[in-house]
């Protein structure tokens, strides 16, 4: 367990990013212990890229940074929820949220 009692024993922890004011889910990414620590230190989101096998700071290339306002962990301590103030859009496609494709309802 990390100093925040998050279970990083499997390496990566799913992390849900939501708009701090509206509650809208913006994206899902993965954090390891180092990216979580950087997020807490800088108050901007850092993730672990599974495809690039390295840390990345959301907004470093697009300028669409996520300013951390609140952080929660779930009851099992293996999922993180972060409320952010989003600069620009969250999705690399240019959409506000990565969740724009409805498949039911």
List residues forming the annotated binding site for Mg(2+): 74, 76, 78
User: Which secondary-structure segment (H or E) carries 22?
Assistant: none
Q: Which residues are part of a known binding site?
A: 74-76, 78, 91, 98
Query: Can you tell me which residue has the tokens 């309802």?
Result: 105
Per-residue burial over 26-37, b = 16 or more CB atoms within 10 Å of its CB, e = otherwise: bbebebbbebbe
Query: Cα(71)–Cα(51) distance, rounded to whole angstroms?
Result: 25
Binding residue positions for Zn(2+): 75, 91, 98
């Amino acid at each position: 367990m990390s100093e925040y009692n998050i279970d990083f024993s499997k390496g990566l922890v799913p992390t849900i990013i939501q708009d701090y004011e509206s509650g809208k889910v913006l994206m899902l990414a993965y954090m390891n212990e180092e990216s979580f620590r950087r997020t807490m230190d800088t108050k901007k989101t850092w993730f672990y890229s599974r495809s690039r096998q390295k840390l990345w700071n959301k907004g470093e290339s697009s300028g669409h940074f996520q300013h951390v306002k609140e952080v929660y962990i779930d009851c099992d301590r293996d999922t993180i929820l972060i409320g952010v103030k989003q600069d620009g859009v969250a999705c690399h496609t240019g959409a506000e949220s990565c969740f724009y494709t409805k498949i039911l309802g």
